[in-house]
């Protein structure tokens, strides 16, 4: 084979489309109920947007972006993340003049140059929402509520909502200092990765899973962010938990929940499915009160999440969720013909059926009758319409119900309506 799809990309084949349809239509319905209107942003942006927005020190920007100079040597980056572009659009279109917060949702492909593995791709699709312009914890709760109802509505069982507060620019630096101070004497005992994290991203040390070094005991003994939150952050987090409780959404507070993007402040959260597997997070997000300002706007709070559609599809399949009527490949009628005269009548009949809204296929006129009938069976046709010389003369077709084998002659112009009645099943 000469051409293959690029590493980390995938074809979504017709047979998978019903699952995608379930996921996207459910997402759309949730966005509608919560009044999050749709926004689409370009597939690529000026490279600086992601550098400034996501953070230059993050893995995403440092080694995962698809960045290239265009023909006039401007650096462009394929969308590496959904939030920064939406914030850019918020600023660019003066949305601060709209009633706040501005609620938006999006469906878009995301590109990251990573080594692919189960549930991880170089191009994947996200459904995401953003509520920009309101810092109240009730908005955090609303966004989480939307995400929770969405995954729930997909029929997924055993989901876990994990939340945490990572503070703000006021209290986080102080906490990081104490955390590092606590680790400093023991750097030799901790794994090499944690030694790196100590410099690059200390919060990550709390998330280390290695047991072959002393990491775990230091995690247990480490100071907790919760104890260092400033009054504002502590109050925000407490209120959020109160709202979630009254919403009846079960959650776990996990102080080691850290996210890889620099812009998060205060609330961060993830929804995880029951299957273990390495890439388990199906939806993740948080608050980003500093992002808009970072992008050159006035200080504006925001919250949102992104959810990975292929991971959701994976879980829907794994849990054998009923995809209902979204079946592919059901054909209402196949038109079968014998002889040249019948062929042109058949071509016209198939067209008429389609114009009546039926899903109709014309069997290749050259094939044997037997072959055409087999083809109809293979396509799962509910009816066949057979036209031979006799039918051409009479202006009729033999209508056969493929399930029962019953067959009768119908005038050509009545064929569509007879099938429609039958297909309604009423």
Partner RNA sequence: GUGAGCGUGGCCUAGCGGUAAGGCGCCUGUCUGUGGCACAGGAGACCGAGGGUUCGAAUCCCUUCGCUCACCCCA
Helices (DSSP H) in 306-406: which residue ranges? 309-318, 340-355, 369-378, 389-394
Nearer to RNA by Cβ, of 389 and 413: the residue is 389
- The CB-of-125 to RNA minimum distance in angstroms stands at 8
How would you class 237 by CB atoms within 10 Å of its CB: exposed for 0-12, middle for 13-18, buried for 19 or more? Answer: buried
Helices 172-183 + 192-200 axis angle, to 10 = 150
CA–CA gap between residue 363 and residue 334 (Å, rounded): 6
Give the number of other Cβ atoms within 10 Å of residue 300's Cβ: 24
Nearer to RNA by Cβ, of 240 and 336: the residue is 336
Asked if residue 185 lies in contact with residue 257, where contact means CB atoms within 8 angstroms, the answer is no
Asked if residue 282 lies in contact with residue 125, where contact means CB atoms within 8 angstroms, the answer is no
- Provide the CA 45 distance to its chain's centre, in angstroms: 20
Please name the helix (run of DSSP H) or strand (run of DSSP E) that holds residue 413, with its range, or none: helix 412-424
Nearer to RNA by Cβ, of 96 and 216: the residue is 216
- The CB-of-150 to RNA minimum distance in angstroms stands at 12
CA–CA gap between residue 307 and residue 390 (Å, rounded): 59
- Length of the chain measured in residues: 426
Closest CA to 78 of 46, 105, 53: 46
- The CB-of-194 to RNA minimum distance in angstroms stands at 9
Nearer to RNA by Cβ, of 234 and 418: the residue is 418
Nearer to RNA by Cβ, of 73 and 220: the residue is 220
CA–CA gap between residue 25 and residue 148 (Å, rounded): 16
Nearer to RNA by Cβ, of 110 and 179: the residue is 110
- The CB-of-45 to RNA minimum distance in angstroms stands at 16
Q: How many CA atoms lie within 13 A of 370 on its CB side?
A: 0
CA–CA gap between residue 360 and residue 374 (Å, rounded): 16
- The CB-of-231 to RNA minimum distance in angstroms stands at 27
Helices (DSSP H) in 68-184: which residue ranges? 83-92, 137-153, 172-183
Cα–Cα–Cα angle for 312, 133, 27, rounded to 5 degrees: 20
Nearer to RNA by Cβ, of 57 and 324: the residue is 57
CA–CA gap between residue 415 and residue 409 (Å, rounded): 9
Nearer to RNA by Cβ, of 223 and 260: the residue is 260
- The CB-of-115 to RNA minimum distance in angstroms stands at 3
- The CB-of-82 to RNA minimum distance in angstroms stands at 8
- The CB-of-309 to RNA minimum distance in angstroms stands at 8
- The CB-of-228 to RNA minimum distance in angstroms stands at 21
Nearer to RNA by Cβ, of 89 and 314: the residue is 314
Nearer to RNA by Cβ, of 74 and 413: the residue is 413
* Residue 366 per-residue DSSP state: T
- The CB-of-62 to RNA minimum distance in angstroms stands at 9
């Amino acid at each position: 084979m000469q051409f293959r799809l690029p590493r980390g990309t995938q074809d979504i084949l017709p047979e998978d489309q019903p699952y995608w349809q379930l996921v996207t239509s459910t997402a759309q319905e949730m966005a509608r109920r919560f009044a999050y209107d749709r926004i689409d942003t370009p597939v690529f942006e000026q490279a600086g947007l992601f550098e400034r927005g996501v953070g230059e020190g993050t893995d995403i920007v440092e080694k995962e972006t698809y960045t290239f100079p265009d023909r006039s040597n401007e650096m462009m980056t394929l969308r590496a993340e959904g939030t920064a572009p939406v914030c850019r659009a918020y600023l660019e279109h003066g949305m601060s003049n709209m009633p706040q917060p501005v609620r938006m949702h999006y469906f878009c492909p995301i590109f990251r140059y990573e080594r692919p593995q189960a549930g991880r791709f170089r191009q994947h699709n996200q459904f995401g929402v953003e509520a920009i312009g309101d810092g109240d914890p009730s908005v955090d709760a609303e966004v989480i509520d939307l995400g929770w109802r969405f995954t729930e509505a997909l029929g997924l069982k055993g989901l876990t909502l994990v939340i945490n507060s990572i503070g703000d620019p006021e209290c986080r630096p102080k906490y990081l200092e104490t955390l590092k101070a606590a680790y400093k004497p023991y750097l030799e005992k901790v794994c090499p990765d944690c030694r790196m994290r100590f410099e690059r991203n200390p919060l990550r040390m709390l998330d280390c899973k290695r047991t072959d070094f002393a990491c775990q005991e230091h995690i247990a003994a480490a100071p907790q962010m919760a104890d260092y939150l400033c009054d504002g952050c502590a109050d925000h987090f407490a209120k959020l938990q109160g709202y979630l409780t009254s919403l009846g959404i079960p959650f776990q507070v996990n102080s080691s929940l850290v996210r890889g993007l620099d812009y998060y402040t205060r609330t961060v959260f993830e929804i995880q499915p029951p299957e273990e597997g390495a890439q388990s997070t199906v939806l993740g997000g948080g608050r980003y009160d500093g992002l808009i300002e970072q992008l050159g706007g006035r200080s504006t709070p925001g919250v949102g999440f992104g959810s990975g559609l292929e991971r959701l599809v994976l879980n829907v399949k794994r849990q054998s969720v009923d995809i209902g009527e979204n079946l592919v490949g059901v054909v209402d009628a196949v038109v079968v013909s014998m002889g040249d005269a019948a062929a042109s009548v058949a071509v016209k009949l198939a067209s008429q059926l389609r114009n009546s809204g039926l899903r109709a296929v014309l069997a290749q006129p050259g094939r044997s009758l037997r072959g055409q009938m087999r083809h109809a069976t293979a396509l799962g046709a509910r009816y066949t319409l057979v036209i031979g010389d006799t039918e051409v003369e009479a202006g009729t077709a033999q209508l056969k119900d493929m399930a029962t084998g019953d067959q009768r002659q119908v005038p050509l112009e009545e064929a569509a309506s007879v099938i429609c009645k039958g297909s309604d099943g009423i």
